[in-house]
Amino acid sequence: MGRKPNQLILEFFIRGQKLEDASNRYQHTCKACGEKFPKGRIDSLTNHLVKKCQAIPLRDRQRVLLRLHELPDLADGDQNKDVTGQNKGKSVDLPFATRQNFDGLNVLAEASRQVGASDQTKRGPAYTQSVTVGGKTVVVDPALEAEGFQGHPTQPEQIEEDANPPGTPQGSNASSLPSLPSSSQDQPQAASPLPEASLTPDPTSNARQSQLSMIAASASEMVPHGLPMDHDAGAGLADGLPKMSPSWNQQLSTQEQLLFDSLQEHDPTLTAATQRAASFPRPIAMNPNSQAKGFVNEFGNSTKPSKPKVRGRFSAARRREVQEVRKRGACIRCRMLKKPCSGDSPCTTCASVESARLWKHPCIRTRIAEEFELYSANLHATLAYHDVSGIRNQIKFEHYAGRIEVTHFEESMVYVTFSGLQGHKASASTLDPQLQALGDDSQFQGPLHELYLLDSDADDLPGKIEMYIKKTAPFFYERETSDFMRPTLMLAAELSQQKKDLLLERVLELWIATHILADGELQWKTYCNPTLPPTSMHSLAQPSDDGRTPIDSVTNSESYELLCSQLRAATEKRASQLSKSVMNDLERRLLQRQQSGWFETFLVALILLNCVERTCWLFRSWDDENFAQRWPLDKRPPYYSNQGDRFSDILHMLLKMRSLPPKATPRPDTGILKAVDGSDENATRWFDMIKVTPLFLEQRQATVFDPSDSRSLDLRYGAKLLPPTNVYT
């Protein structure tokens, strides 16, 4: 018996065959972009909907998130705006996570726990009393309560009446919004002044002042620099919440006021927090009169001996803070310098840099692969999925007995072969359309012509494209028309074979895949061969002219467009895998400060930037009114094409911090750049091969977009890696 289908999943996925195992799962295919999930795991499907699929509109993505968390739709919230406004003055249930972690009470309570962690004096239940303040249950010392609340006898019944007026619903869960104290403008500070004895120093005043100083210092360390304090946890709801009894407002003692004045000079942001926290009843952990355990000098009033400091358990707020920092991750600078990252923006390490020569960006906590989404957007895969699905809904396709042969260069004698599907479609007839509408009688239809598709279920299309790229790589390098990229690619290919550099080999493969996708002059040559079987020992084969028929834009334009669309989708899939691998490995190599192979790493970055330049050109060429109806993604083309600037700036900064770009100087006679004396041998060869001038590099950085030339943006980002003109002059 199969698993009951999930309605949310069925709305966005096509349910396929059941897996042949005991998992009771089914294959799924995304309706928006066509990505297949052969395992059908629910977490992979939901993660695709929420994070990865670029073809799903933002509104549907929000709706999926709300339904996954069993929350009402946003449209329902818009209808209830008036109802919410009428309930002003009633208690509102809000999640606890919406409160700031570092309000005054939390800061001082955590600081007091750290300072008084060694004070384990036990008190019986008769000497303690619990009071709920700010959503927390605080144990209050009766002596402190008597000292701080003299002249204000408060009964428990009165507290309940003031905190919960009639008609206010009570929330039994801990997530309900706590009642807020009234402001000092509404209620007087205290009805009677403190006793005179509180103005004169008592024997325990020094210990009390010392412990308060330690608490304030600990609180100052806990509050991160640059983090604004929560002046009012519910400022927007303060007028609608019940006010507490005026007995909660206390006056500060003289010594506490002196302490706060000194704190104001040291850290103004801390004093506001401590004054807010002082208006609440003091917990037992902050009781300065508690008796210390251990050795006590009975012959004098000397302070207790110092004991080793023991760190207490993290509070819930502190645990949440640490989890958020780990979830966000350390910034690139802290990872590169191997420093602890505070999690702020900017973090403590980045903020301490007074004169940054290279580090002029805010904290970047993402991987560089996440900064460039053009390969993972699945543009061609989405287009191919909708094209193929549309034609398969009209025509019945059957397995093709022969095979499909594909290449770019016929002189290379290298072809990649695929299994195919064959269908028959009636050609456009010259008869009157009214006669054709009479029925499906074949006599009113035009002649049938054949349509061909690649069988993606029988073949691993990206895997065969990978083999094809590796086999034909030298032909792509030799036929590159750019005088800068052609020698760069040939030298990189030589070094990848000589030094067995896997990263250099992968970035070359990525460049070929990008070249296939972006270059409009590079055309696929496709053939159908009915004489040879589709399944052979090798996907690469020699051409066979016996019975082979070309499929091109002249003989069979519809089949040719469908085949090219599928081939572009398979190439894009392989490019997406390569880009993620190349970017992650390059970032890892830069962060590890690898000493050997620095010039090879520079070549990897330069070729990668050329891939970025041509991919940005491809997406920017879609920003045309003629292509607006065919654009399949939710975000518009400029969203993707503008990512190249930020990505290149980050990569340029990392390379500069490692001093990887080779140094060069212009020749006196020609002005062509040459490597400085003592440079790497391969760097010297590279400058002799490319033959560029400082003026040429400066002009390429200011290049403009040309929709008819896929190389129009070449070196727009790569030229930044080489020294500018003013360095030489």
Single out the residue of 151, 145, 181, 175 nearest to residue 277, CA to CA. 181
Check residues 30 and 203 and name the one with the higher pLDDT.
Answer: 30
Confidence of residue 686 (pLDDT cuts 50, 70, 90): very high
Confidence of residue 175 (pLDDT cuts 50, 70, 90): very low
DSSP character at residue 611? H
Q: What is the pLDDT of residues 232-254, one digit of tens each?
A: 444 443 444 444 444 444 444 54
Using the predicted structure, report yes or no on whether residue 317 has a pLDDT greater than 80.
Answer: yes
Amino acid of residue 60: D
Using the predicted structure, report yes or no on whether residue 481 has a pLDDT greater than 60.
Answer: yes
> Among 353-357, 439-443, 701-705, which range has the highest average pLDDT?
701-705
Amino acid of residue 600: E
Residue 154: predicted pLDDT? 44
| DSSP reduced 3-state for 619 | helix
Confidence of residue 437 (pLDDT cuts 50, 70, 90): low
Using the predicted structure, report yes or no on whether residue 208 has a pLDDT greater than 60.
Answer: no
Single out the residue of 474, 691, 717, 692 nearest to residue 606, CA to CA. 717
Using the predicted structure, report yes or no on whether residue 229 has a pLDDT greater than 60.
Answer: no
Single out the residue of 693, 674, 694, 695 nearest to residue 684, CA to CA. 674
Confidence of residue 24 (pLDDT cuts 50, 70, 90): confident
On average, the pLDDT of the chain sits at 73
Pinpoint the alpha helices (H) of 246-347.
Answer: 254-266, 268-278, 316-328, 332-337
Low-confidence winner among 284-288, 388-392, 626-630 (lowest mean pLDDT): 284-288
d(CA 610, CA 511): 8
Using the predicted structure, report yes or no on whether residue 172 has a pLDDT greater than 60.
Answer: no
Complete DSSP assignment for 65-112: HHHHTT---HHHHHHTHHHHHHTTTS--B--GGGS-S--HHHHHHHHH
Mutual orientation of helices 485-499 and 461-478 as an angle, nearest 10°? 120
Is residue 280 within 8 A of residue 108, CB to CB? The reply is: no
Prior bond of 188 cis (ω within 30°):
no
Check residues 66 and 250 and name the one with the higher pLDDT.
Answer: 66
Confidence of residue 96 (pLDDT cuts 50, 70, 90): very low
Residue 216: predicted pLDDT? 56
Q: What does the longest C-alpha to C-alpha distance in the chain come to? A: 121
d(CA 720, CA 706): 20
What percentage of the chain reaches a pLDDT higher than 90?
Answer: 33
Structure tokens at 9: 């999943």
Residue 611: predicted pLDDT? 97
Q: What is the pLDDT of residues 545-583, one digit of tens each?
A: 667 889 998 889 999 999 999 999 999 999 999 999 999
d(CA 423, CA 455): 12
- Mean pLDDT value across residues 271-297: 48
- Dihedral in degrees, nearest 10, Cα atoms 560, 565, 571, 577: -160
Check residues 662 and 538 and name the one with the higher pLDDT.
Answer: 662
| DSSP reduced 3-state for 421 | strand
Check residues 110 and 689 and name the one with the higher pLDDT.
Answer: 689
Q: Which residue has the tokens 């989404």?
A: 373
d(CA 458, CA 454): 9
Residue 543: predicted pLDDT? 57
Q: What is the pLDDT of residues 115-164, one digit of tens each?
A: 554 444 444 444 444 445 445 454 444 444 444 444 444 444 444 444 44
- Mean pLDDT value across residues 257-285: 50
Confidence of residue 508 (pLDDT cuts 50, 70, 90): very high
Is residue 115 within 8 A of residue 218, CB to CB? The reply is: yes
Low-confidence winner among 177-186, 332-341, 451-460, 619-628 (lowest mean pLDDT): 177-186
